[in-house]
Amino acid sequence: MIESLQGRLFAAVFAAIVLSVGITVSIGAYLAHRSTAASTATSLAKRADLLAVQEQQQPSYIAEDYTSDSNRVVVDRIANMASLLPAGRSTAKASDGKVRLGETTYLYSYRPMGARGLELLRAANLGSSIWGSLLRDLALAGLVGAVLAAALSFVLARSISRPVSRVADASRALASGAEPQPLPEHGAAELAALAQAFNEMADELHTSRESERAFLLSVSHELKTPLTAIRGYAEGLAEGVFAPDDAARTIGVEARRLERLVYDILDLARMRRASFSVRREAVDLTQVAREAVARHATTARTFGVTLSVVGEVEVWVQADADRVLQVASNLVENALRETPEGGTVAVEVAPGRLTVTDTGPGLTTDDRDRAFERFYLYDKHGKERPVGSGLGLAIVKQLTTAMGGDVTVESEPGGGARFVVALPPASVAEAVSA
């Protein structure tokens, strides 16, 4: 059993070509045999006609039994000619065909000439010798064709299997963690498409690996910070360095931050699974905005930030109620972290949109481009006010996309930031049924 692709391709192509050559040679041999036999019979008949005419014009022109050039000519009384014809053939009519005389088979042409008859005979094996020579020539041509077929099959099989082997080798290298060189994207369209697809997959996997490494580094750092604080205050409390109330308050804050970080990491992990899904139901954005503001009202007062809802009319969208509230809460958390004391954070509701606007320092162009990356804005602006986990905006982006919506950010340095969530509107019937 041939296991390699190259071997199978070689065997398949070689067998197909050899079969084609064999069929072609066989058909050619059959047609050549028929053509040779027909040509021999026609030549014999024409010569018999010519000899009959000459014998009639010049009686006794031909000896009664004469052999010349592998032909035998018999001229005799018509009554005696029956023994030289196949059984059932009339001596009164001209005929052509084969007749067996003794141990030899002949091709014959018989022509009656009044009271006499003329028969031209030629041994049938003379035609066979010509046919045998032709058959040898055809067999030689078939053999040459088979050799050429083998060479062509090898070249073709190699040209097809080599790119596939390169993909297999590169795939194994990729699976082992290495980064193979990009595959050449040329050759047959299908093989070029295969190489292109592999290169795209390798690029995406490389990007994913780099993203995972960066994420693990960031998570390690973010987990280390609260753990270090908890450990430090616990040790200080044991040694009597910190007052119990201060230590308990700090440990509680850091524990809650650690808990939130773990939950957000779990949320991101769930969203990366194929089985992650969101519900499709009618959701009132105004109610969601009110709940998000109520959830963070205490934090806003602590920071000296005015937090409010703009818009009292019901606005219905198609979304997952729990996930929309999570999106709004994360955006409010981000805004509270950015907004200085005395500033304002407004949650505005409009048809199909929920907007969170703050009066913070604003974002640069680079910040806007990377606003939804994990830990990016938190690392830049979350030192004084450690609100949230640093994963909130990344979760906002993925949840909004999963619900069929989009989220964008508008900001200029010194002009605050405006995060806009757009979601599919709900129909009147869906809103009423909700």
Domains and CATH numbers, the chain: 5-143 (no CATH), 189-270 (1.10.287.130), 278-433 (3.30.565.10)
Alpha-carbon distance of 222 to 233, in angstroms, equals: 17
Judge if pTM exceeds 0.85: no
As a whole number, the mean pLDDT across the chain is 78
- pLDDT band at 18, cuts 50/70/90? confident
Helix H or strand E segment including 192: helix 189-239
Max mean pLDDT range (35-44, 151-160, 204-213): 35-44
Alpha helices (runs of H) in 272-383, residue ranges in sequence order: 285-295, 297-303, 321-338, 365-369, 376-381
Max mean pLDDT range (71-80, 92-101, 121-130, 140-149): 92-101
152 CB-side CA count, 13 A: 13
Contact 406, 319 (CB under 8 A): no
Alpha-carbon distance of 167 to 164, in angstroms, equals: 5
Q: What is the pLDDT of residue 203?
A: 81
Average of per-residue pLDDT across 93-111:
88
- What is the crossing angle of helices 189-239 and 124-175, to 10°? 20
- pLDDT band at 290, cuts 50/70/90? very high
Q: What is the pLDDT of residue 27?
A: 80
- What are the angstrom distances between the C-alpha of 161 and each of 6, 38, 62, 165, 191? 5, 50, 73, 6, 10
Burial of 240 (0-12, 13-18, 19+ CB in 10 A): exposed
Q: What is the pLDDT of residue 264?
A: 65
- Angle (CA) 284-287-293 rounded to 5° is 140
* R_g (Cα) of the chain, nearest Å: 49
- The answer to whether residue 1 scores a pLDDT higher than 80 is no
Alpha helices (runs of H) in 82-181, residue ranges in sequence order: 124-175
Q: What percent of the chain has pLDDT over 90?
A: 14
- pLDDT band at 270, cuts 50/70/90? low
Alpha-carbon distance of 193 to 186, in angstroms, equals: 9
Which of 243-257, 337-351, 407-421 is predicted with the least confidence, judged by mean pLDDT? 243-257
- Tens-place pLDDT, residues 328-387: 988 998 888 888 999 999 999 999 999 999 998 888 887 777 777 766 655 555 455 555
Q: What is the pLDDT of residue 408?
A: 92
Contact 215, 374 (CB under 8 A): yes
- pLDDT band at 127, cuts 50/70/90? low
Q: What is the pLDDT of residue 222?
A: 58
Amino acid, res. 61: Y
Alpha-carbon distance of 428 to 434, in angstroms, equals: 10
Tokens 């040898």, residue located? 136
Neighbours of 343 (CB within 10 A): 19
- Distance from chain centroid for Cα 48: 73
- Higher per-residue confidence, 310 vs 149: 310
Burial 270-298 (b: 16+ CB within 10 A, else e): ebeeeeeeeeeebbbbbbbbbbbbeebee
Torsion of CA 177, 178, 181, 187, to 10 degrees: -50
Contact 323, 283 (CB under 8 A): no
Contact 145, 22 (CB under 8 A): no
Alpha-carbon distance of 32 to 152, in angstroms, equals: 28
Tokens 């050449």, residue located? 184
Alpha-carbon distance of 328 to 217, in angstroms, equals: 27
Torsion of CA 218, 222, 223, 227, to 10 degrees: 150
- pLDDT band at 120, cuts 50/70/90? confident
Alpha-carbon distance of 41 to 47, in angstroms, equals: 10
Q: What percent of the chain has pLDDT over 70?
A: 78
Q: What is the pLDDT of residue 166?
A: 75
Which residues lie below 8 Å from residue 405, measured CB to CB, with a gap of 6+? 319, 421, 422, 423, 424
Q: What is the pLDDT of residue 121?
A: 87
Residue 145, helix vs strand vs coil: helix
Helix H or strand E segment including 218: helix 189-239
Which of 143-152, 159-168, 378-387 is predicted with the least confidence, judged by mean pLDDT? 378-387
Q: What are phi and psi of 417, to 5 degrees?
A: -135, 150
Average of per-residue pLDDT across 203-221:
68
- Angle (CA) 139-143-144 rounded to 5° is 120
Which residues lie below 8 Å from residue 399, measured CB to CB, with a gap of 6+? 271, 278, 323, 326, 327
